[in-house]
Amino acid sequence: MALILLVTGCSQQSVQSTSSSSPSAQATNPIDFPLYAGSTVLTARDWRGTTGSDVAVSGREVIAQSGATLQALEGWLHDISAKPPQGYSVAASGSSVGAAHRRAQAMGLQFQIFSHQVGGKNRELVVVVLDPATFESKAGPVLGLIDKYSMLPQSLRDPIDQQAKSRTGFTVSQALDPSQPIGAALAAAKALRDSGERGVVLVDAAKE
């Protein structure tokens, strides 16, 4: 799965969202995983895409806002990782995961990846907490490229990805992938841009 490949640093694939539901003022969390206490759901949507090897992937994304500090949200994420909800387990660990967490922290976010099963089918859930202001300031060199990136042929995307990764530690492809922590953080930063609050994002995904 793309989530695990991201942590190990081996992913060269991209998932593009192909469908979504309109945000609702009464949006609720449809994913069987708790949000930080007191969080307000801003959007909840379904999405579907394909990886670079044409494997179909689909999932749900929830973006919530919280008045808690990033430090408090990181503490919550640490605690829920140490004792996951019933049916969930932390999907990966080791030095590569630690390096990914350090890179994320430098961008003003933190994440954890959990695995679980629904109807006997393996699924992965990425949970991201972030400070949108810090993330947008750190991701600035890439944000200006995103709108034009999807219209470019692959031969032109590759050097842009290399340049973006050398400057920020992640590629534009990853920033456009809703199933990866960076892509989830970007979606949340946009949704929270004017709120002045921190974000909590859940992205549940599975191969079709």
Amino acid 10: pLDDT: 29
Amino acid 54: pLDDT: 64
Q: Are 169 and 6 in contact (CB under 8 A)?
A: no
Side chain identity, residue 206 = A
Which neighbouring-strand residues pair with 204?
Answer: 60, 125
pLDDT by position in tens, the chain (length 208): 433 333 333 233 344 444 334 444 568 999 999 999 999 999 898 887 765 556 677 888 899 999 999 999 999 999 999 999 999 999 876 666 778 788 888 888 899 989 999 888 888 898 999 998 888 888 766 666 665 666 667 777 777 677 666 655 666 666 666 666 667 777 788 788 778 899 999 989 888 7
Count CA within 13 A, CB hemisphere, residue 102.
6
Amino acid 158: pLDDT: 75
DSSP 120: T
Amino acid 76: pLDDT: 98
d(CA 101, CA 143): 21
Amino acid 59: pLDDT: 86
Amino acid 184: pLDDT: 76
